[in-house]
Structure 1
Amino acid sequence: MSDFNILSGHWNELQHDAELIRRHVFIQEQNIPENEEWDDQDAISLHFVVYDQNQAIATARLLENNSIGRVAVLKSHRGLGIGKILMLNIIQQAAKEQRTALKLSAQVHAIPFYAGLGFAVQDGTEHLDCGIPHIDMTFSLKSA
């Protein structure tokens, strides 16, 4: 795991690599329409990209409203703990910024992953986002 490196920065710095990962995971694998993947939040979010040596392999963004979104790991690197490393880095950054809580809309199949990090299902109501079942989850930074 020592070859993994995480960079955080603005969209204009990390756009190329974050876009590449999101295009593979969301648009190609999950068939999310291109016009639903890109939004105005990219320009104002803090982005994170994980690198395996020089290859971008995972990404996520932290929005101003304390939401974590667009969490994606390339298929070739899933199951190696990279998502956990990425999420812990985002939680650490949020704590450094003195945010008190985080939220995300998890794809239903990923609930156990986020629960293992300390996120809790908010009200249990599923909703569709781009045709994929999601559920809202929260994380308290007060106890982290």
Structure 2
Amino acid sequence: MSLFVRLADWQTDRGDIRRIRQKVFVDEQKVPPELEWDEHEESAQHFLIYHHDKPIGTGRLTGGGKIGRMAILKEARGLGAGLELLKRICKFARVSGQKNVYLNAQVQAAPFYEKAGFAASGEEFMEAGISHVRMDLTLSDKEPCENVDDWNR
């Protein structure tokens, strides 16, 4: 599989990041654009994942260990890109000194994050008109999901 994750810079890579998130969140999931783009864009550490040199997904890490804006283009789902992206973000957080990370998962995506070792905490809530749940992960020396045998089941 030709997947590659790299650190991205909002100033340099904004076009690819915006294109992916526009397609996934605004066009596909109908998130209002004014809720998609926020004050964290310039300060967050962004990531891009590529398949055969084409950017197919993005995510970011903001202060306090919050993972967010994870998006994989529809035509690239099922390649394992989401897991690879999540693993790289967690590894970056761990190397940067974070002990814990968290995210607000769309409820329909919670099983994906549970397989990666995240645990739901708290009640479901609405964000951008979509039901979410907070999920937490304590970072250790082992990679998230390293024990998952068949991720694409």
| TM tier relative to shorter chain | over 0.9
Aligned counterpart, 2:13:
14
Structure 1: unaligned runs, 5 residues or longer: none
Query: Which residue matches 1:133?
Result: 131
For 1:57 and 1:21, locate their aligned partners in 2 and report how far apart those are by CA, in whole Å: 7
Give every structure 1 segment of 4 or more consecutive aligned residues whose post-TM-superposition deviation is greater than 4 Å: none
Aligned-partner SS, 1:51? strand
Q: Does 1:72 find its partner at 2:64?
A: no
1:65 alignment partner, SS class: helix
Q: Match of 2:89?
A: 90
- Contact 1:26–1:32 (CA under 8 A) maintained in structure 2: yes
**CA distance in structure 2 between the partners assigned to 1:108 and 1:52 by the alignment:** 27
Greater strand percent: which structure?
1
Matches within 5 A, 1:95-106: 95-106=94-105
Distance of 1:48 and 1:8 partners within structure 2: 5
Aligned pair count? 142
Give identity over the alignment, percent.
36
Task: Return the alpha-carbon distance in structure 1 between the equivalents of residues 37 and 97 of structure 2.
Answer: 28
Instruction: Quote the Cα distance in structure 1 between the aligned partners of 2:50 and 2:44.
Output: 19
Aligned-pair CA distance for 1:143: 6.1
RMSD between aligned alpha carbons? 1.1
Counterpart secondary structure, 1:111: helix
Q: Deviations over 1:63-106 (max 9, x none)?
A: 01210000000000111211000000011111111100000000
> TM-score, normalised to structure 1's length?
0.95
How many Å separate the matches in 2 of 1:142 and 1:80?
A: 26
Contact 1:21–1:58 at 8 Å: present in 2 too? yes
Deviation, 1:51, is 1.0
Distance 2:55 2:69 in 1: 15
Q: Which runs of 5+ in 2 are unaligned?
A: 143-153
